[in-house]
Amino acid sequence: MGQIRFTDITLREASRCGEGALSFKEIIEAAKILDRLNLDVISLAPIVNEKIDSLLVRTVAAAVKRSALSIPVGFEESGVETAWNAVAEAAHPRLYVEAPLSAVQMEFVCNKKPEGIIKMIETLVAKSRALCDDVEFAAVDATRSEPEFLYRAIRAAIAAGAATVTVCDSAGMMMPYEFNSFVKELYANVPELENVTLGVKCSDELSMAAACAVSAVRAGAAEVDVTVGGGCAPALEAAAQIIRLRGDDYGYACGLKYTELHRSVAQMNWITRKERSKTSAFDTGMAISDGSDVRLDANDDIDALSKAVVRLGYDLSDEDMAKVYETFVSVARKKSVGTKELEAIIATTALQVPPTYELESYVINSGNIISATANIHCRKNGADLFGLAVGDGPIDAAFLAIEQITGHHYELDDFQIQAVTEGREAMGSTLVKLRSNGKLYAGNGISTDIIGSSIMAYFNALNKISYEENHR
């Protein structure tokens, strides 16, 4: 029975949404969901900001265990090494080389003539293959290119070391029977395709992307690009349903976990939703940790602790890691350390800095018939600063007021509240994780007033960001 591989391009395409682009946290959570579904390949967005985006790719690589992780290399040689340095530590890394092959796109996208495109393909694929065994070449707008030029470009990519060749119906204008004939013509004119994996990417302009993909598979394709929401490629759920219901009849199967598919797609649709709140600090869809990801005890050394810290998304200096380990050892002597405990240790131990912002007072108004408002008073370098904001709740309003004071919105990566003591006067501990330039900063606050502990935790994380920004 033939095995059909799925490449999910949701995260790659989401990067082109501009204002609706996903946050650091959402990308990591989405990649974990796709990995649990047994997606064969997860395609990430190209690296634009080398420092921030490379950190993101490395964090995703640490979280993805089964799926191959694909990263575009761009159109310049320097992009190959940048992409490889970011994805090299993935369990199954893949470098993705694409080139426009229609006359219009060659000139518009790359500003190159046909000979320049062929040379670019040969150079990028060969350099990628020298670094990575798994290299994919994508022929963009292949269905509108000159056939002889398309065959030549594919031969050049295979000769240079591409293990997968993907042809794209970027305009989405082909009917299923036309795409079937198109793929057969490829095999007839490029015998070298028999030695590599042929993939297809079908746009859904005519609402026939899934049908075109099935036709391509019948003609010999073995890998299909999909997205969670459809549009630029067949919808993942639709493509999987076709294989599940009719695969046996035609001798095809895939490795997806069908029982988890619907729930996982619903989660992905929520994460990648286009409608996002512009008036809330809680705009990233961040999830509360269940504490099950990390479990350490007194037998674990600093190397094991360092790996756990990196898995949680932190990038600590050697000095801060030593401080975290010292505190960890004292806690681990008494009990095992889970995610929540380790997060608290990092928040209270790592990067302890002089406060840039000092909280003076706060006033919160909230009720079931009024909108929550927060008035925050703090001091910076001796100057009084005030923030007044309305939010979806008292904590949301407080965070928005602080953002008003700083004039900056940081990605709220995580927010956790837990009781420290029991009784009516119980102390509450709040953990706030902010992300700036791709790096994670944790702040901790403790108070009998949970709103107060949340504000303290936010300022604690904010002061760490401010300190590093002023001492670069």
Specify the range with the lowest mean pLDDT, choosing from 100-114, 273-287, 334-348.
273-287
Q: How long is the chain?
A: 472
**Ramachandran category for residue 214: left, alpha or beta (phi over 0 → left; psi -120 to 50 → alpha):** alpha
- The kind and range of the H/E element at 168 are strand 164-169
Contacts of 361 by beta carbon, 8 Å cutoff, 6+ apart: 376, 377
Instruction: Say if residue 290's pLDDT is above 70.
Output: no
Percent of the chain scoring above 90 in pLDDT: 60
Model pLDDT, residue 285? 47
Query: HSE of 443 in the Cβ direction (CA atoms, 13 Å)?
Result: 22
Tokens of 376: 């925050």
Instruction: Pick the closest to residue 457 from 429, 427, 438 (CA basis).
Output: 429
* φ, ψ (nearest 5 deg) of residue 199: -115, 160
pLDDT band of residue 108 (cuts 50, 70, 90) is confident
Instruction: Say if residue 20's pLDDT is above 60.
Output: no
CA distance to 47, 82, 157, 169, per residue, from 164 (Å):
21, 21, 9, 16
Instruction: Say if residue 421's pLDDT is above 60.
Output: no
Model pLDDT, residue 399? 96
Mean pLDDT in residue range 366-379: 94
Mean pLDDT in residue range 270-290: 60
Model pLDDT, residue 277? 58
Can you spell out the DSSP letters for 401-466? HHHHHHT---EEEEEEEEESS-STT--EEEEEEEEETTEEEEEEEEESSHHHHHHHHHHHHHHHHH
Specify the range with the lowest mean pLDDT, choosing from 79-93, 131-145, 434-448.
434-448
Mean pLDDT in residue range 204-226: 94
Instruction: Pick the closest to residue 6 from 157, 201, 161 (CA basis).
Output: 201
Model pLDDT, residue 292? 43
> Could you tell me if 4 and 234 are in contact, meaning their C-beta atoms sit under 8 angstroms apart?
no
Model pLDDT, residue 424? 54
pLDDT band of residue 423 (cuts 50, 70, 90) is low
For 313-368, write each residue's pLDDT tens digit: 788 888 889 989 988 888 888 888 888 788 888 888 887 888 999 999 999 999 98
Model pLDDT, residue 220? 95
Residue 306, burial from CB neighbour count under 10 angstroms (0-12, 13-18, 19+): middle
CA distance to 5, 48, 66, 345, 415, per residue, from 39 (Å):
8, 25, 8, 35, 29
pLDDT band of residue 286 (cuts 50, 70, 90) is very low
Model pLDDT, residue 293? 65
Instruction: Say if residue 209's pLDDT is above 60.
Output: yes
Specify the range with the lowest mean pLDDT, choosing from 129-143, 384-398, 409-423.
409-423
Instruction: Say if residue 467's pLDDT is above 50.
Output: yes
Model pLDDT, residue 175? 95
pTM: 0.74
Specify the range with the lowest mean pLDDT, choosing from 80-84, 189-193, 268-272, 396-400.
268-272
Instruction: Please state, in angstroms and rounded to a whole number, the distance separating the CA atoms of residues 210 and 225.
Output: 10
Sequence letter at residue 88: A
Model pLDDT, residue 6? 97
pLDDT band of residue 446 (cuts 50, 70, 90) is confident
Residue 288, burial from CB neighbour count under 10 angstroms (0-12, 13-18, 19+): exposed
Model pLDDT, residue 283? 59
Instruction: Say if residue 147's pLDDT is above 80.
Output: yes
Instruction: Say if residue 10's pLDDT is above 50.
Output: yes
Buried b (16+ CB within 10 A) or exposed e, 433-446: bbbbebbbbbbbbb
* Higher-confidence position of 87 and 17: 87
pLDDT band of residue 470 (cuts 50, 70, 90) is confident
CA distance to 291, 385, 412, 464, per residue, from 287 (Å):
12, 31, 11, 23
Model pLDDT, residue 425? 55
pLDDT band of residue 17 (cuts 50, 70, 90) is low
**What is the pLDDT of the chain when averaged over all its residues?**
89
Mean pLDDT in residue range 420-431: 67
- The kind and range of the H/E element at 329 are helix 318-332
Mean pLDDT in residue range 68-73: 97
Model pLDDT, residue 468? 87
Instruction: Please state, in angstroms and rounded to a whole number, the distance separating the CA atoms of residues 325 and 311.
Output: 16
Can you spell out the DSSP letters for 356-375? SEEEEEEEEE--SSS-EEEE
